[in-house]
Structure formats: C-alpha cells, structure tokens
Amino acid sequence: MVSFNNFYFCLFSIYYISLNSDAYRILVIAPFNSKSHTNSLESVAKALALKGHQVDVISHFELKNPPKNYTTIINLHGSLKETVNTWTLDMVEHFQNVDTVRILVEEFGNNFCELMGLEKMQRFIKNPPNDPPYDLLITEALGATCFFGIGHVLNVPVVLVSALTELLMFDDILGNPKTSAYTVSFETKNFRIITFWDRVKNHFWAQYGNYRFFKYTEENQTMAMRKYLSLDVPNIREIEKKTALLLVNAYQSFFGIRPLIPAVVQIAGIQIELSETKMTKELKIWMDESTHGVVFFTLGSMVIIEDLPKEILLGMYASFAKLAPIRVLMKIVNKENLPPGLPKNVLIMSWIPQIPVLQHKNTKVFMTHGGLNSVQEGLYFAVPMIGFPLFGDQPLNIRLLADKNVAYEMNYKDITEKSLNNALHAVLYDPKYREATKRESQLFRDRPMSATDTAVFWIEYVIRNGANSLRSPAMDMPWWKAELVDVYVFFFTSILLISYSVYFVLRKISSLICRILNPSFKNHKKKD
C-alpha cells in the first residue's frame, strides 16, 4: 500500500514539475521613489507572477495584495526623501526652470546609485539567492543605469522598463534608429516639428542631450558600480550595451509612428489591465447617484491641489458651483489648507482610486496634470480631459492630446472662473471632444495582444533565447558607421571625382574639336 501511494506521489510530482518547468526566477529593482514610475515596474512584475514565475522585488512601495509568487524582498521606503503628496508649486516651478538633463542625471540618476550602498542592499548583492538563481533582472530605464550592473554581477539578461515614452538616449543604448526629424526631443520644449528650423533645433537638442547624459553619468555611475558591486565591473557604457529588452510606456496611436527595433516593445496601459483597485462603498454610491455627470480633478500622486494660490482655488469654486447638478470629485490631501466656501456639489477625498472612477459611466471630464499614466487611463476609458501640465513630460502629453481634440489645454497659472468655465463648457458640451476621445480610445486599445501578454511574451523570449536574441547590429558599430557617415563621404567624394573627371575630359575634347574645326585657333595659340 505504501509503495502504491509512493508511486502516485511520484507521478503527481512529475506532473507538477512539468507544469512549472517553464517558470523562472526574476529580480525586479525599482530605485525611483515615484509612485507613478514604480507602477510600471510593479505591473510588469505582477504580470510575470500571475503567469507563474517567481518574482522578487526591491522597491520603495510594497504592493497590496500581491500575487502568490510576488515577494518584496527589500523595502527601500524611507531611504530617499518622500515624494508622494509632498510637491508644492514652488517645487514644480523649480523643475520647470532647471536643466532637464542635469536633473535627470543627478536627481534621478547618480544619486540613486547610492542606494546600492545600503546595508540591506549590500547583504543581497554579496549573497544573492541561488535556490534557484535568478534568470533575469528588470529595472527602471530612467537615469540610474548603474543598476544594470547588478545584471552583470548576476550574469543574467537585463530588461528595462520605462515609465515614460522612448527617450532618445535609449536609441544610443539599444541601437534603435534615430528619428529626430519628426520625433520630439525631451529637451526641445517645442512640441510640434513643422519647419526647417524646428528640425534643426530638435536634432541639435537630441544629440546634445544624449551627449550630456552619457558624459555626466559615465564617471560617477561607473565608480558607483565598482564601489558597491565589484571592481571588475566594466565601464557603464559597456554595461548599457548589454541591455536585452526595453519595455516602454507608450503606444503608436498616442506618440505617433516611429521605427522600433524588436528590442523596444510598447506596453502602454499595462497598469490598467492589471489594476485591482476598487472604490469604497460610500464613493461608489456617490458616483452611482451622480446621474448628471462627474468632473474628476486630481494632480496625481505628487503635487497637492490645495497649494494652488487662493485666488485660483476660489475661481475654481465659482466655476464648479455653476456646474450643478453636475458633481465634482477632487483629490485633496489636507482639506484644512483649502479656503472656505467649497461648493455643495464638490466631494473632496485624500485618496481616490483613479482607474475605477475613470471607468465609471458617470465620469464626463477628467481634469489632470498630464502625467503619462493618468492621461493614458483617461484615454483608455474615453474620458475627455482638461490638462494643466506642470513639468517634465506633461506638457508634451497634453499637447499631443489637445492636437487630437482629446484634451483642452490650460496653463494652471491662468486659471480663473471665466477661463475654467470656458474649458468645462467646451469639453462637456462640444461633441468634437467626446467623438475624438472615443476614436482615440479605440485606436489605443486596438492591438494584436494586450499590453500584459506582450510584456510577458518578450520577457520570456529573452530568457529562452538569450540576452543577444534581439540585439541590433548597430550596438556593435561606432555611430559614424551606423549613421552611414563613411558611406555618404564616399558618395560625396566619388561624385566630386567623377564630376571633375568628366569636366576634365570634356574640356580636352572641346579643345581638340576647336583645333580641328578652326585651324586659325591653332596658329593663334602658336603666336601667343
């Protein structure tokens, strides 16, 4: 009887192992202490865990109700200055007026490398688990490329996740074709490329921005890797070139068409597909009862609305009051900082589950700062927007949507009762906004595979086939070869030589013909 039970136990064990033979162990590192950036990495990690892979996460935020195979092994919370619900307008205006590349490198790049020096990080780096070992590293693709070095130490492929669209520096890292003729540089601050000078300006800033990014990071981040990882770690530029795959928070219908190598994969909307957030019972009742419609207003997870100047807030109050019976839902962290006089049709909450609210049938307008996750969520659920871009990529996001009649663009400094009345009236009652948003929403959703399935497939592909399976030949070429500079020089030189040769031959032939047809020409030449 015992042997019979053992026989069936062995069969069950073999069957179970066969079911899980394709499960991998994956390390995810999210060094950026921004909730929106971490959402992208968390979503990819969650998708892999739901597929059955063992996912270990190092992050500033712990996922609530994680899947079975999702484990936060190191919580970085408190190691950097808090960003959630802490940004005032002074901080926003500071970031509007600074050197973007320098901030990207120093604030969100070189400084983050010091996280590797934390005691709990050092314990992990020096004694990574080997039961089983990791098959892949996934990390943030913003400015702290030093974390790519952990993949080198673990001897595993590195996959990057960008919470933003494809920044042009990724083209250099991955050998992707550069398209500054029509793809806007993050530094240009001119979000329409129309004229010759637009192209000149955009191309200059694209090249100059990339040069400065690599210049400012090379020494500092190479030193950080050799200090905290190993003295044998190569230069950061060599580490970057080993990147196997980049997953970007973008989609062609939003940012436009551009050539992408197979190693650059668009997964915009993955956080929407995997969201499990729900409204509280009280909020759901309020939303269900708002049959005349709801205007939803939030400035994201960082910037606080109540820090807006009093005159702007009072102008909003007056405009919102005129909307009744339409209701307004506002995210306000500290209601004590609001001026008195909040209209009766306005509900304020310190935390609002954004995706369920946007998904609700009664939500008619989304007033937003233009963060990429936020505008994509509004687009996904076909909610027209009023955009108040603050800094970073937000002006570009809102401008692109405004050009498609999905959003009404405003400067937050110019908000008055009248200007907000005009914006709300346009988006609520002009059918072009609702119709355009429905069409763009359909385009955004129309894909061969969901964002979740796309991300999982290509990550598993890299693990199955190796870090070089999607590698572009351009990654092994100097820039002047990849950009065909030598070929253009050859063509130009050849044309000059051929032109001169033709000119020389024709001149000789012309001179000969003149001598034959006009003998006096020859005598004249002799007299001379």
How confident is the model over 146-174, as pLDDT tens digits? 999 999 999 999 999 998 887 778 888 89
The pTM score is 0.87
> Side chain identity at 509, as an amino acid letter?
I
pLDDT at 36: 78
Least confident of 43-57, 77-91, 239-253, 501-515: 77-91
Answer yes or no: is pLDDT of 3 > 50: no
3-state class of 411 per DSSP? coil
**What secondary structure letter does DSSP report for 78?**
T
Answer yes or no: is pLDDT of 9 > 60: no
Q: Average of pLDDT values for 80-101?
A: 69
Locate the DSSP E strands across 327-388.
327-331, 346-349, 363-368, 385-387
pLDDT at 170: 85
**Listed residue (52, 60, 88) closest to 76, CA to CA:** 60
User: Chain-wide mean pLDDT for the chain?
Assistant: 88
**What secondary structure letter does DSSP report for 303?**
B
Q: Average of pLDDT values for 359-381?
A: 95
Answer yes or no: is pLDDT of 528 > 60: no
C-alpha dist (Å) from residue 230 to 109, 135, 152, 454: 19, 20, 10, 34
Helices 372-380, 35-50: crossing angle, 10 deg rounding: 60
Tokens of 148: 């790519």
Confidence of residue 1 (pLDDT cuts 50, 70, 90): very low
Least confident of 125-139, 297-311, 412-426, 462-476: 297-311
> d(Cα 516, Cα 94) in Å, to the nearest integer?
81
pLDDT at 172: 86
> d(Cα 177, Cα 273) in Å, to the nearest integer?
30
Answer yes or no: is pLDDT of 52 > 90: yes
Q: Average of pLDDT values for 13-33?
A: 70
